[in-house]
Structure 1
Amino acid sequence: MECAHHEYNQESQQNSGFLRRNLWFCNEEVKTCTYNMLVRPILEYAGEVWDPHSNIQKQRIEMIQRRAARFCCSDFKRYSSVTTMLARLCWDTLEERRRRNRLTMLYKITKGLVGIEGKHYLMPANDTRTRGSNSLKFQRLYTRLDVHKGSFFVNTVADWNELPDEVVNSPTVEVFKQRLHH
């Protein structure tokens, strides 16, 4: 999986370079739109199931978006704040976007909206010591292997159990996404 992600990372950097070479004269809106259409989908491809757990992997992916923010804002000054640029562009970190996408996928699994049967992977939490603030908690999955730490169910169940009741009991996917985003 690491090798496959490296290829996507390279492709997104190539697309970013293409945009920088050909759209340097365009306004912020055009640059942002092309980034969102051509680069970000590559960075987010299969993000629900591949979510890096090592800091170096996370930093490499985020760096592409941070460079894109500089490009979109046409601000390449050394001491300019990229965090401020990201806020101005209303861009969440890619890590946060992956988290929301994973949680949305788990919501779909629990509601039977996708072809994955949750009963094979998710066990209701019957222990009062399970952390979380909702009534639809699942048993946390523990692993000793680093490879497994970044897997979908291990990461997502931990995040799911922290969600409030009103989010996990949303009537539709759209409502779930809205409540999750706020």
Structure 2
Amino acid sequence: MYTTFIRPYFEYASEVWDGLTNFDSERLEKCQIEALRIITGLPIYCSHSSLYFETGLESLKERRKNRKLCLMYKIKNNQTPDYVSNLMPPSVSDMTSYNLRNRNHISTPFCRLNIYRNSFVPSSISMWNQLSDDVRNSESLRKFKSKINSLNKLPKYFNTGKRNLSIIHTRLRHGVSKLNYDLFRVNLLHESSCMCGYKREDSEHFFISCPLYFYDRQQLINKMLSLNFTFDIGTILFGDTERPNKENEDLFKAVHTYISSTKRFD
């Protein structure tokens, strides 16, 4: 819903106005960050990198950059009207007979002011010239997009199970849960110890060693062994991307059962 109905409002005709100030760019990014918090269920004090990791989305700034590069590709391959193509200055090879290393670059116009330097033509040319010849000479726009896109592919099994348990699992994965150590790190608690007496109640202690959940843990261990997963904190939190999606879904369901049966987050 966000990417279809809301995000287009944040980037309509962004090729034209991408020369906005850093202050305005950050204000716009905050709108997306708030949407990502709603999507993931992560708290306000979690890092932006965690939000982007859990959603597999790009920042608006990165998307604007890629949109400008895609328009440059269309211009260079005569896929735009003449009034757009005519905005581009000639290439270096058209301006000199010397066999220069940058002969395939587009000549950069002189920019006296930053407001012009950040506008579409100069900024897009600068980014275009930084691309390798292999990327610029892509056979189609689709292949060009795939080469410049830095989209993080989110494992499908991350969305397994009931939303409330999935959110708790996600928070444990990024160290922003209601465990005492996670709250202590952000100054929401004065004490980081577990009720069992151990000094640090974090995700690893909760899943691997806390004696309060011994019997619940045995069921989780047995289930993971039956699925041929190694019982360690990395596998519990992130699964195994080398294994089939269905096996990881079964693993995450077992983890959610453990989270629910401990009643630690009720």
| Fold agreement, TM-score > 0.5 | yes
What residue in structure 2 maps to residue 18 of structure 1?
A: none
For structure 2, the 5+ residue unaligned runs are: 151-266
- AA matched with 2:125: V
What residue in structure 2 maps to residue 106 of structure 1?
A: 72
Following TM superposition, where does structure 1 have runs of at least 4 consecutive aligned residues deviating by more than 6 angstroms? none
What residue in structure 1 maps to residue 32 of structure 2?
A: 65
Cα deviations by residue, 1:61-98 (Å, 9 ceiling, x for unpaired):
1111111111111223x432232111110111111101
Equivalent pairs counted in the alignment come to 144
- AA matched with 1:37: T
CA contact (8 A) 2:16 2:120 kept: yes
- AA matched with 2:63: R
What residue in structure 1 maps to residue 11 of structure 2?
A: 44
- AA matched with 1:177: K
1:114 is paired with a residue whose SS is coil
CA contact (8 A) 2:19 2:120 kept: no
Q: CA RMSD in A?
A: 2.0
* 1:11-50 mapped onto 2 (5 Å cutoff): 34-50=1-17
Paired residue for 1:174, among 107, 124, 142?
142
Q: Distance in 2 between matches of 1:96 and 1:59?
A: 12
Query: Normalised by the size of structure 2, how large is the TM-score?
Result: 0.50
CA contact (8 A) 1:44 1:98 kept: yes
2:135 is paired with a residue whose SS is helix
Call closer, same or farther: CA 1:122–1:179 in 2, change over 3 Å.
same
Q: Distance in 1 between matches of 2:86 and 2:4?
A: 36
Q: Which has the larger radius of gyration?
A: 2
Which fold has the larger relative contact order, with Cα–Cα distance below 8 Å and residues 6 or more apart in sequence? 1
Q: Distance in 2 between matches of 1:103 and 1:60?
A: 23
**How far has the Cα of 1:119 moved from its partner?**
4.7
CA contact (8 A) 1:140 1:158 kept: yes
2:92 is paired with a residue whose SS is coil
What residue in structure 2 maps to residue 136 of structure 1?
A: 104
CA contact (8 A) 1:70 1:82 kept: no
Identity of aligned residues (%): 28
